[in-house]
Structure 1
Amino acid sequence: MASLTLNSANRAEVAAALAGDRWLVACLCAAWCGTCGGYRATFDELAARHPDKVFVWIDIEDQADVVGDLDVENFPTLLIQHHELVAFFGTMLPDAGVAHRLVQSTAAQSDDELRERITNNAERAAWQRDCNLQTLLRAAA
């Protein structure tokens, strides 16, 4: 299954995925970024390797009303979230193997393990406040 591209027509579908039990993996990119253009096929292949998860491609300029306040320092940036818990937010090497291992190891964590990591790490705690895609989608609605 290929990744979704976030747009105004499928925001409710993405929000529903976050409300359910599936993990969400979002790639934050920009159309003008050559690295992102080359990474899109890799991201779709990653989505095919993980059909139990929702993969969403987000152009930060096209979807600025949703993600405009996120501090995206470099491309591609991945956001991995389960329910209301942001498990990862950061720049990712455009390498399919590295991304696969990150998704696999992150999704192997229980919500309790994620909460413990959040409680014991200031950066992860900030992700909950600043990077929660479910919150960002609600605010843009």
Structure 2
Amino acid sequence: MAVLELNQNNFKETIENNNIVIIDFWAAWCGPCMNFAPIFEAASEEHPDVIFGKINTEQEREIAAAFNVRGIPLLMVFRDNIMLYSESGALPAAALNDLLTQVKNLDMDAVRAEVEKNKTIKE
């Protein structure tokens, strides 16, 4: 599956209208980002049920700022419109595949219940 270039026009729709979305925040000047790109691309072929998106932090500064991106590469994973993972640093292929397997196997009813519980505590 091809990796999507995400921007202001398609970011929200992509997150809201897909079950699992993994995003790679990157920049052209970032060596680790360039080294991670083929791993991310290969994982997109192995996981056709996941949407793989890339956000160029130099071009999409508003999105990067909204998510407080401080270090790149940064991976972020959403499932059912809930952010489940956000971590700076490139992952080896095996770790990326393991992360996606864990996300797929999550009990989302339990996750939603925990999100609601945390909302109530904050209010």
Structure 1, unmatched stretches of 5+, are: 122-141
Structure index of larger Rg: 2
User: Counterpart of 1:44 in structure 2: which amino acid?
Assistant: E
Secondary structure of 2:2's counterpart equals: coil
What TM-score results when the alignment is normalised by the length of structure 2? 0.81
Distance 2:52 2:31 in 1: 20
The percent of aligned pairs where both chains have the same amino acid is 22
State the Cα RMSD in Å: 2.3
CA contact (8 A) 2:36 2:90 kept: no
What TM-score results when the alignment is normalised by the length of structure 1? 0.72
Distance 2:90 2:63 in 1: 24
> Are the structure 2 counterparts of residues 18 and 110 from structure 1 closer, same or farther at C-alpha, using a change threshold of 3 Å?
farther
CA contact (8 A) 2:21 2:77 kept: yes
Structure 2, unmatched stretches of 5+, are: 119-123
Deviates further, 44-53 or 110-119:
110-119
Residue in structure 2 matched with residue 58 of structure 1 by the alignment:
55
Count of residues in correspondence between the two structures? 119
CA contact (8 A) 1:92 1:99 kept: no
